[in-house]
Structure 1
């Protein structure tokens, strides 16, 4: 019996009404997305599987997507089954880096609300996302897989230790943990969040650092993000933590690419960022700047 095509799999889903119009959507890295229109409107169909090497489990992602919709942050999840999720299509603008920088204050308000409100809506076993644990676990995975980057792992782990020690104590919140510009949507009146593969309990700093580093924010733009989020000008400890976590965000991203190089076949992990070695070098350059600007006097 011939294997089902993607179109066959979409048509077989038990929620359609009438004739279907199907078109691919760009942007998925570890999943495949399609825009489907039927008699009830437009929907986004996402195919993806569990990736234990990335700590990605789709049942948890679906739970968070439902909770985020219930809390008013995300489009409705209309259907979920192993390997597939169907969400409402908003027809909203997908942000780029320039949009994130231009809307730093709005994004800070959105992220703050998400952090504060989501713990009341998520369910099941609690998942903890700590970037430095992820980096160390990626190092184990890369060593076990005999990655071409194995010689660099001691340097990466030493870098992670330094950055972790720079973190200021902050409350535990529920964070998104993958705030790429494309995961912010703007429908003209409000902002939305999508893609909750990595969401879990953490501190605010990884989301704040990821938002800034993924959008290439300047120091002034980062200060605006932090000021709005914390309700006042950030002190030196918060600035130091934020700068260090931006380095950690880049390092984690680089190691994501290295692990993906071993285990993901399509789409290419290199489409998510520049090459893994370039991303790691960027993290190292940021660390040099961070040391120079935050050294105690």
Structure 2
């Protein structure tokens, strides 16, 4: 048994189970977590933890679920088998819910429109305070965003899928034969391109052991429209991470604020410029 404090919840591990305790301000996160667990248990059992119980009261929601075996895919190179199993799990997750059920699931938070507005609000916080190479990439990314219109499209012209809303490979657990998924606080109705971009551009997918993006995406069948959107969504998420890593550098006087090696923001600037082509 043990307890760990994360950014949005406290996690307690007991025999066979996990309990997540959310602050009152994270009520919607708890609702999304419970909704995802119950829907996946009904329509794709075994893909995610089994839901046990919940208390979604406004004063500190609590969600309890089963404890999945396995180790996170973050932090170690992914060989061919694990990469294939990861892609298989992602495909299964996206297609887990029948169309009529998915249509009733609320849209996930942090979509392109929200991110676009947030990025423009963040810009004054980094200009003149970061490395020139990083600032140049920020400016190039924002210029692309303004021209792309990606964050002004109300609804993407691509099929809807169920999205977990977090591309961190730490949320994908390998038990030696299959990959399963945890953490659905930001889940909801989404689209395949956006969810794939969350995985390929998350800092966890490249800072230590780079994900073979080409090999990973070769396991996913995309329409022409999804292929175009994936390119733009990757650019958007890469720009988000450039800001986040820049903020980490600006807070580097606080050791607790640093999660990545020094110089990661500069590396991210290069990644973004490469994606912008």
RMSD over equivalenced CA pairs, Å: 4.1
Deviation at 1:133, TM superposition (A): 1.5
Residue from 93, 116, 136 that aligns with 2:116: 136
Structure 2: give runs of 5+ residues left out of the alignment.
129-134, 249-255
Match of 1:158 in 2: 143
Change (3 A) 1:106 1:137: same
With normalisation by structure 2, the TM-score equals 0.69
Indicate conservation of the 8 Å contact 2:120/2:142, yes or no.
no
With normalisation by structure 1, the TM-score equals 0.65
Residue from 59, 81, 85 that aligns with 2:63: 85
| Post-superposition CA distance 1:124-178 (Å, at most 9, x none) | 55224564223134247759xxx84487897764343456659995322121220
Deviation at 1:109, TM superposition (A): 1.6
Indicate conservation of the 8 Å contact 1:31/1:47, yes or no.
yes
Match of 2:275 in 1: 290
1:224 aligns to 2:196 (yes or no):
no
**Which whole-Å CA distance do the structure 1 matches of 2:210 and 2:159 have between them?**
26
Alignment of 1:10-89 (within 5 A): 22-25=1-4, 28-37=6-15, 42-49=16-23, 57-70=29-42, 71-72=44-45, 73-81=47-55, 82-89=60-67
Change (3 A) 1:125 1:209: closer
Deviation at 1:200, TM superposition (A): 1.6
Match of 2:171 in 1: 183
SS of the residue aligned with 1:228? coil
**Which whole-Å CA distance do the structure 2 matches of 1:44 and 1:191 have between them?**
18
Change (3 A) 1:235 1:63: closer
Indicate conservation of the 8 Å contact 2:126/2:247, yes or no.
no
Aligned length: 248
Change (3 A) 1:123 1:244: closer
**Which whole-Å CA distance do the structure 1 matches of 2:261 and 2:185 have between them?**
21
